[in-house]
């Protein structure tokens, strides 16, 4: 059981920073920030979960069944992540590529301390065993001093594969497409560095550059995620399931007229729309596995949305969930998300594993939460920096969708565009 207390916050933007600074002292923390981005579906402006009462972390083997049991037993708020390599729990697949981070494939925890911010209304939800700490903690949070965030010492960032290797591998993927093995696949590459970073400062800088709707900071002891994700993977809202895949990207321009023209060109681009529509079809198929008959629908197809760094095409696919399905089954039957795999999904994942050189791990997985009544909301882990403090290993990956119309050189340039924010923060 939880005790709920409401507070009025004079300056929510300042308070969010204070919450993050305060939370960083705990062994486990998840901080989610919508950055006030306008959304059709959303519950909170900001969420902080900290200090685990119970937790689960495991490799891929039987991971979804373990999570299902954990969620059903606790019936409480749970926060954490699903790594891309849980694909090996849903299909007969493997992950044999290099892994410099070594994060668990799945990690969730039941927080003792939970903060839910909507506008200037803060709801504090503490487990009864620690509810006598609410006032002291709130005072401590509001006394956190926001010091100037200095740039981190520059890191020597390396690419796991060279430009020439990238072009060759995309060429091989195009051969698979021309043979009819796949229609589309998301091909990714890793950038990495050795050295120490300040995870909180890194997240603040990355978030400030992009101000996306699904930003996330995750701490699991000495392992960190700093994510500036613009993409929702999956949301459950009572009996409604919402997926919002992103496919289709264009750069921004400082000139307003040119920027509007770029957005319009993206909206009309046959190649970019084809990328998006193929993934929409895949998502419709995924959702149909757990939906009531005839309930899968496309609410929006290829809507053009603007972010600080780029324009994106985003579609919204919805369904009504079959009540016989557990909430974890809904996730399992659509995981990994279509926007980070390809079509057909299994063939695409097999080819991805063969051509990529790095185990994706948490990159292109999902971060989010379950509510006590069985709703959930998860992002897609892209535009993110991963860091293991013990190994002093820093990693970020970027990718793009390869279709029959793709130019390897153009796809490489798109990857560099997506890498810009992470490079700016680290180097």
Question: Which residue, 267, 385, 248, is CA-closest to 310?
Answer: 248
Taking a C-beta distance cutoff of 8 angstroms, is the pair 376, 178 a contact? no
Give the CA angle between residues 340, 345, 346 to the nearest 5°: 120
Residue-wise over 378-413: b if at least 16 C-beta within 10 A, else e? bbbbbbbbbbbbeeebbbbbbbbbbbeebebeebbe
Among this protein's residues, is 411 annotated catalytic?
no
Question: Which residue, 23, 21, 19, 37, is CA-closest to 379?
Answer: 37
Question: Which residue, 128, 182, 141, 160, is CA-closest to 29?
Answer: 141
Question: Which residue, 92, 113, 119, 125, is CA-closest to 3?
Answer: 125
Question: Which residue, 321, 339, 335, 323, is CA-closest to 276?
Answer: 339
Check 28, 184, 190, 231 and give the catalytic one.
231
Among this protein's residues, is 236 annotated catalytic?
no
Helix axes 345-355, 163-179, angle to 10 degrees: 150
Check 16, 113, 236, 247 and give the catalytic one.
247
> Any idea which residues carry the catalytic annotation?
231, 247
């Amino acid at each position: 059981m939880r005790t709920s207390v409401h507070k009025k916050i004079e300056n929510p933007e300042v308070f969010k920073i204070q919450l993050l600074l305060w939370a960083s002292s705990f062994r486990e923390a998840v901080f989610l920030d919508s950055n006030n981005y306008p959304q059709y579906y959303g519950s909170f402006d900001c969420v902080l979960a900290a200090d685990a009462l119970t937790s689960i972390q495991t490799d891929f083997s039987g991971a979804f069944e373990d999570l299902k049991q954990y969620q059903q037993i606790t019936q409480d708020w749970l926060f954490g992540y699903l790594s891309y390599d849980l694909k090996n729990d849903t299909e007969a697949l493997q992950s044999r590529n290099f892994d410099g981070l070594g994060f668990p494939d799945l990690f969730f925890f039941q927080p003792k301390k939970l903060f839910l911010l909507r506008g200037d209304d803060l709801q504090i939800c503490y487990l009864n065993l620690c509810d006598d700490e609410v006032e002291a903690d709130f005072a401590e949070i509001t006394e956190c001093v926001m010091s100037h965030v200095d740039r981190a010492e520059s890191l020597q960032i390396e690419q796991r594969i060279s430009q020439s290797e990238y072009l060759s591998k995309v060429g091989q993927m195009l051969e698979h497409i021309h043979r009819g093995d796949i229609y589309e696949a998301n091909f990714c590459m890793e950038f990495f560095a050795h050295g120490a970073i300040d995870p909180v400062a890194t997240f603040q800088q990355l978030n400030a550059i992009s101000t996306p709707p699904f930003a996330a900071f995750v701490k699991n002891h000495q392992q960190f995620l700093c994510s500036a994700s613009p993409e929702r993977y999956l949301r459950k809202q009572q009996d409604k399931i919402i997926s919002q895949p992103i496919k289709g990207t264009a750069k921004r321009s400082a000139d307003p007229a040119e920027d509007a023209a770029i957005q319009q060109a993206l909206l009309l681009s046959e190649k970019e729309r084809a990328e998006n529509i193929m993934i929409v079809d895949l998502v419709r198929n995924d959702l149909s596995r757990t939906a009531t008959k005839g309930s899968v629908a496309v609410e929006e197809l290829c809507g053009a949305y603007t972010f600080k760094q780029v324009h994106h095409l985003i579609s919204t696919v919805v369904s009504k969930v079959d009540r016989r399905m557990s909430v974890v089954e809904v996730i399992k039957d659509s995981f990994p998300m279509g926007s980070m795999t390809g079509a057909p999904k299994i063939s695409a994942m097999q080819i991805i594993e063969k051509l990529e050189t790095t185990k994706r791990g948490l990159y292109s997985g999902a971060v989010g939460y379950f509510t006590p009544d069985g709703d959930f909301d998860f992002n897609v882990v892209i535009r993110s920096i991963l860091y293991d403090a013990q190994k002093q290993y820093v990693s970020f990956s970027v990718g793009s969708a390869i279709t029959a119309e793709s130019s390897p050189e153009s796809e490489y340039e798109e990857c560099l565009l997506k890498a810009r924010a992470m490079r700016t923060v680290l180097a």
